[in-house]
Structure 1
Amino acid sequence: MKSDVGFDFFNRKIQNQHLLSDINVSKDGLYAAFTVKSPIKSSNETETNVWLSFKKSMPAPLSRLSENHSISLPRWSPSGDQLAVAMQGHVSSGYTSIGIYSAPLFNFKEIATIPGSIEDLFWMPENLSILALVAETGSDSVVTSGSQRSASLEDIDLPVTTRIDSGKRHLCEINFDSKEPYFFGPKQGTIWEFENFDENSIAAIWSNDVTESGWYDSSVVFVDRHSGDIKTFYKPSWQISSITKNPLKNQIALVEGWASDRGTVCGEIKVIEIASGEVLTIKSFGVDVSKVRWRSRDSVWFTGWQNLSGAWGWVKIDGEVGELHLDDLQASSTNFQSSPENTVLDQAIWSISAPREFESPEIIVGASGSKLTQWKRISKFGLENQEKVPNFKTDLLRWSSSDGRKIEGLLVYDPNSRTQLSPLVIYIHGGPASLWTYSLRPEVLLLLSEGYAVLLPNPRGSVGRGQEFARANLGDASGAEVADIILGIAECAKYIAIDESKVSVVGGSYGGYLAACAATMTDQIRCAVVMYGHPNLLSARFGSNNPAFYDKLMKGAPTLANSHEYLMRSPLMRVSSSSAPTLILHGKEDRCCPVSQAEEFYRALIDKGVSSELIIFPGEGHGLHGSLAKSECWVQILSWLDKHSDTVNV
């Protein structure tokens, strides 16, 4: 590694990388609460607290009740004078508490302690009770949080028993009079999301299979609040999320589309008429929608992606677009409110920024009703000192793939060195139903500081360009999507001088799979880095916690008759003595892509005499979330790239 300045800045960024989420605004609009997850310096641990802004002022954290608890999921009461939160022990005890702050928000009382982990809270009308979505001990966290199995401290050294109903999620109501949690359902299966429908039932996204795999085949159901019985109302063709009830009509809206992971659905808006069961698809308006909320009787707010930009606005259910804005924001984070009286006024829009200049995400406030939104930054979580950011330029590239399909990507480079030969790193995103945007990650800056140019391709399978494009790689894993990426090299050469003999590829998760494909199925890669990937599709399908993902990716579950198709598209089976030298990095506790995937690929490489190293991070799940793990990961990556690319720092 040649640039201490670049790595110092990278370390400072990840040590100061706050994860902002769960913006919740009080009914009168005076208060906004949100969750902040922050790294604890010099450790792999994090701490979580709720922060509060009054009248769009600089936010401050709520007073911590205990240093041993993480506080999250802020939810304002319908009256707007109480704030409910969930409190989880740093070292899980297998229980979560619910507490309420009452106006003026320094009065606090704990109302219940519940076995399991609370994933959502919802105030019932009249401020008399709260609904909680509770995941039992033994459930897996969502992939964006590491995809790790939860375990209580008392059980951590005991044998783990898995049964067909292990780790289910169910609904619990806490009445303020009795304060006793009442678990009412579902009788079978698991709840992934919910919305109160009426005094007798809950509308929910539900699957009979309680594992992460079950989510891929979820349905919309009504759960009886008294008996826990399930009534299926809508069985979608694809994955669903963001269920929301129209407060003025007997309708439900949601997002439906192909999604590779829970929590990342992008697609079309569906409106379900409860009385008739009719399902209306709002005609496409150029946005892969990720979140929807009712705005008025006949219109909905939305956020999502259009090409490489975050998009938000509102659309009538007949398809007429009222507002469509393209802004640098995190698409699923925006907070909207409905108008109960169907009189829609311009309102404040709270969101989280996705800045382009390697700055940290911040809480921002804008307003609907204007052609150009003027965003005001409310928070200041980023670093004070940004002067050490190297000079860089980002160009949007477009090129034709092997079948003529147009592919887009971003080329990030030092404009002062565009005429000098630069080693190129292709950095492939995961998913595959994800995307690169203009909001660049800190590791891209690190690569720039080391003298690399970086290509961020969005091959077929990425979101932001409609569902046909997002589904274009289904049934063709390792096929045209690899050509999409490799053909981007020649396009880069039109913008900067690159040494095409020194092209490296880096990828994580599905991007790790594609990096392994490039290393074993093409001859244009000098070296590769595979982070928490799944290079053996057949064993990954049976060893992961989400086999349904592979069934949908491959358009069918493996059988004796078709298992060869899984193997032919597995880079593990394509390793030869001419495969590119490969560094493999993986979290030991990863349930989405088990660590055995890394071990299998390493064995296949060394069996063929290919230079390879395997690094396993204890305690880490999918994505290597700890700041120390991230730092060490990129130390090893840079060392590997430098070793095989002979870079010259410029």
Structure 2
Amino acid sequence: MAEQHCTPESLFELRLVADPQLAPDGQAVAYVERWIEEIEKDGKRRPAYRSAIYLSSGPDAAPRRLTFSSVGSDSAPRWSPNGQELAFISTRDGDKPQLFVLRLAGGEAEQITKTDELSEGVAEYDWHPSGQLFCFTSLGHKDQAAQRHAELHDEKVYAGRLPIKYDNVGFYDERRAQLYRVGRDGSDCVRLTTREREVRTPRWSPDGHHIAFLSQNEETPETSWVSDIFVVSAGGEGLRQLTGGVASIYNYAWSPDGAALAYVGHAREQGAATTQKLWQIKLADGATHCLTPSFDGHVGGMPTSDTHLSSTPLRPAWDNQSRITFAAMVQGRTGLYRVSAEGGDIEQLNTSGLSVVGFSQQGATLAFAGETNTRSAEVYTATSGHQLARRSKAGDAFFSTYQILPPEHIRFKGADDWEIEGWFIRPAAADDGQHPLILYVHGGPHLAYGNAFFHEFQVLAAAGFGLFYTNPRGSASYGQQFAAAVRQHFGEKDYADILHAADVAAGWAWVDAARMGIMGGSYGGFMTNWAITHTDRFAAACTQRSICNLLSFAGTSDIGPEFSRDEYGGLPWTDEELLMSKSPLRYVQQVKTPTLILHQENDHRCPIEQAEQLYTALVELGVPTKFVRFPDEGHEMPRSGQPQRRVNRMHHILDWFTRYLKP
């Protein structure tokens, strides 16, 4: 039996899986496995992420590693149509990912795209149905002259265009990813589009004559979250916009006959708070209809976690009976569902209580990565009438070494008697006495906690802190009214829901209400800031990658104008008083709570100037505070940042709450 508890450093021992891909015959499944190891770079040794492609050839076969490289990582496995080859993306040739193909019969992986021809690498790709071509997206190539020019002219120039930056990307130049085609042997690499908007998610039509992709109409403001499906011929001619320029579209799949597409998205009736649905569009006449109109699930969504390798909305899959399989999050749990291409009743498929973080389908067989709140995802296959078969063993060593503290489920009444869902974890070695507790608020606001493994939560509970994490109104997966309830009402009844959660926790016999802390990141950081500027009931706080000033956020965030219009209800030059009235900074003189501020210097979503303003105010007001800045990291650092920085971050959090919440 496992006896150790998780520590910040146990992150280094986690092995995670993602992107399970079934072979065309439905037997073998390829997937990505990621781990952390020390590597040398720039003369220094430091922990870094590595990943490789693994293969399980059958339900009873042990998984084996397929790809090997001394440096870099491999990802995005995709089977050739005949099932004899596996393509993947790898950084083994340098910092930029390139496309490779491995023959399963044996031999070394063959590089398809080359750094000297495509210096910016490959983002996404798809096999041609013949197996003789690929389509892919890329920023293209910078030759030596272009690179030299960029070195001499490193200033950025913008003229009438937004956004000028994007989180995890940095400051834009004039280039946007375009669509390319290349032969299976690496020959005839051809650029197919020349657009002012980014091209992403390319997919060949079943007959191989066309390529679909996601992009924006060039008349749509680039700051808008509207996206569309386009189709172009295999030669790059006849560009056609299929959808109507009013929806947010995240992923899609061709029907087997090529006559229609199923896609995940929404028509933005409630802006970014709109619940994602499954739709079908027919190519012949552009007729579009929703296949899940009364379904409350958030199609394509999954609960937030620090052990997911991707947050991309999950792609639907067609079968040969005109049915579509899709993933959807319902009350914090992502399951698999099936619906006819004409709509109608929705069937829930059996995943044995596992929450799905990735899946693929071949015939009657499904492969999916599934997790619980006590174990990170593993790969499973399921065939109608048969039990699930586990196909990976990535977490076996970790979960046999570390004792996992189980989250306990609860429902309670929030503001207006709305039902709120949450989970709590008792601290390790809890005796009959009372213990400190941390209330953790998720980001978004239209995300959700749920049936997902969170390493950070285990670390906090193992250190002796109880943990309570909830889905207040505004969270996804509880229906449209619930998700939209905070739109243009931040800090109102969502805040009341959080205080109700604190009241519930204060009534537990094992909780010392005088030693309760609050923390959160992004929107959760905003709510932490809102809480400490409106109550002194919390003995300590940790605000991460947060917002405190809605006025400056609108002009400095990569999503500032659109988010401010949509979620806050105004812009600085027309609604100054509204935005300041909703800004925690206005009420900062009321803060008494000792506050730890964590922020990343390359966070373009919630820029670090937000943390600087809050820190300055708290120091001036004499409030105990500490400000930790992480260099070279963006908004997602707590989930995907450099491993050592993630560990350091946890130590800062533990030190702060130990100081203020423990006797």
**Into which bin does the TM-score normalised by the smaller protein fall?**
0.7 to 0.9
Give the unaligned 5+ runs of structure 1. Answer: 139-150, 340-345
CA distance in 2: counterparts of 1:526 and 1:136, whole angstroms? 52
Q: Tell me the CA shift for residue 83 of structure 1.
A: 1.2
Match of 1:446 in 2: 459
2:202 maps to 1:194: yes
What do residues 216-258 of structure 1 show as CA deviations (whole Å, max 9, x unaligned)? 2212222344346643221365522121111135111111149
- Change in 2 beyond 3 A, CA 1:227/1:109: closer
Match of 1:143 in 2: none
Q: Tell me the CA shift for residue 575 of structure 1.
A: 0.9
Q: Tell me the CA shift for residue 379 of structure 1.
A: 2.1
- Change in 2 beyond 3 A, CA 1:10/1:304: farther
Correspondent of 2:286 among 273, 277, 281? 277
* 1:298-317 map, 5 Å: 298-316=322-340, 317=342
- Change in 2 beyond 3 A, CA 1:152/1:544: farther
What do residues 2-54 of structure 1 show as CA deviations (whole Å, max 9, x unaligned)? xxx97x73245310223422222211123322222322247242122222221
2:75 maps to 1:61: no
What do residues 528-587 of structure 1 show as CA deviations (whole Å, max 9, x unaligned)? 111222222232232122235513542645142213222222222321143422111122
- Change in 2 beyond 3 A, CA 1:228/1:587: farther
* 1:247-646 map, 5 Å: 247-248=256-257, 250-257=259-266, 267-282=276-291, 283-290=293-300, 291=314, 292-316=316-340, 317-325=342-350, 327-337=352-362, 339=363, 346-347=364-365, 349-357=366-374, 359-369=375-385, 374-384=388-398, 386=400, 388-389=402-403, 392-414=405-427, 417=430, 419-547=432-560, 550-551=563-564, 553-554=566-567, 556-624=569-637, 625-646=641-662
What do residues 362-406 of structure 1 show as CA deviations (whole Å, max 9, x unaligned)? 222233456xx534253233435646526x453322222223322
- Name the aligned partner's letter for residue 267 of structure 1: Q
Deviates more, 1:517-526 or 1:611-620: 517-526
SS at match of 1:354: strand
Q: Tell me the CA shift for residue 440 of structure 1.
A: 3.5
Q: Tell me the CA shift for residue 427 of structure 1.
A: 1.1
- Change in 2 beyond 3 A, CA 1:438/1:152: farther
CA distance in 2: counterparts of 1:389 and 1:211, whole angstroms? 51
- Give the TM-score normalised by the residue count of structure 1: 0.86
CA distance in 2: counterparts of 1:411 and 1:153, whole angstroms? 56
- Amino-acid identity (%): 22
SS at match of 2:457: helix
CA distance in 2: counterparts of 1:471 and 1:547, whole angstroms? 19
CA distance in 2: counterparts of 1:23 and 1:212, whole angstroms? 36
Deviates more, 1:454-463 or 1:183-192: 183-192
- Name the aligned partner's letter for residue 275 of structure 1: A
Q: Tell me the CA shift for residue 171 of structure 1.
A: 0.9
- Change in 2 beyond 3 A, CA 1:326/1:419: farther
- Change in 2 beyond 3 A, CA 1:82/1:506: same
- Change in 2 beyond 3 A, CA 1:545/1:578: closer
- Change in 2 beyond 3 A, CA 1:229/1:250: closer
CA distance in 2: counterparts of 1:228 and 1:575, whole angstroms? 58
Deviates more, 1:600-609 or 1:223-232: 223-232
CA distance in 1: counterparts of 2:150 and 2:276, whole angstroms? 40
- Name the aligned partner's letter for residue 253 of structure 1: A
- Name the aligned partner's letter for residue 467 of structure 1: Q
Q: Tell me the CA shift for residue 609 of structure 1.
A: 2.0
Give the unaligned 5+ runs of structure 2. Answer: 39-44, 162-172, 301-313
Asked if structure 2 preserves the Cα contact closer than 8 Å seen for 1:426 and 1:455, the reply is yes
TM superposition outliers: structure 1 runs of 4+ over 6 Å? 151-158, 209-213, 263-266
CA distance in 1: counterparts of 2:250 and 2:273, whole angstroms? 9
SS at match of 2:617: helix
CA distance in 1: counterparts of 2:372 and 2:578, whole angstroms? 42
Deviates more, 1:412-421 or 1:494-503: 412-421
- Name the aligned partner's letter for residue 301 of structure 1: T
2:113 maps to 1:109: no
Correspondent of 2:123 among 119, 128, 131? 119
SS at match of 1:575: helix
SS at match of 1:487: helix
CA-based RMSD: 3.2
Match of 2:311 in 1: none
- Name the aligned partner's letter for residue 605 of structure 1: L
SS at match of 1:638: helix
Count residues in correspondence.
612
Match of 1:45 in 2: 48
Asked if structure 1 preserves the Cα contact closer than 8 Å seen for 2:380 and 2:388, the reply is no
CA distance in 1: counterparts of 2:37 and 2:565, whole angstroms? 39
SS at match of 2:111: strand
CA distance in 1: counterparts of 2:489 and 2:348, whole angstroms? 37
- Change in 2 beyond 3 A, CA 1:135/1:418: farther
